[in-house]
Amino acid sequence: MNKRLTVKKSNCPQNHTCPAVKVCPVGALSQNLFDAPVIDQDKCIKCGKCANFCPKKALVLEQI
């Protein structure tokens, strides 16, 4: 079962510092100013912590 983390920009308000960036245990999320977070897929361990933490459900762990 393969998974991939994606950002649904339509759900992300992009008007604040993303709180989920600090939740990632491996530093796979980054953010430039108030833009939507960017995922480093090579670092992401697909744990789902950021997706569960995001109040707007803009981070989604999907089956691929």
- What domains appear along the chain, each with residue ranges and CATH number? 3-63 (3.30.70.20)
- List, for residues 3-41, the tens digit of each pLDDT value: 999 999 999 999 999 999 999 999 999 999 999 999 999
Strands 59-63 and 3-7: antiparallel
pTM of the model: 0.89
**DSSP states of 9-37 as a string?**
TTT---SS--GGGGT-TT--EE-STTSPP
Cα-Cα end-to-end distance for the chain: 8
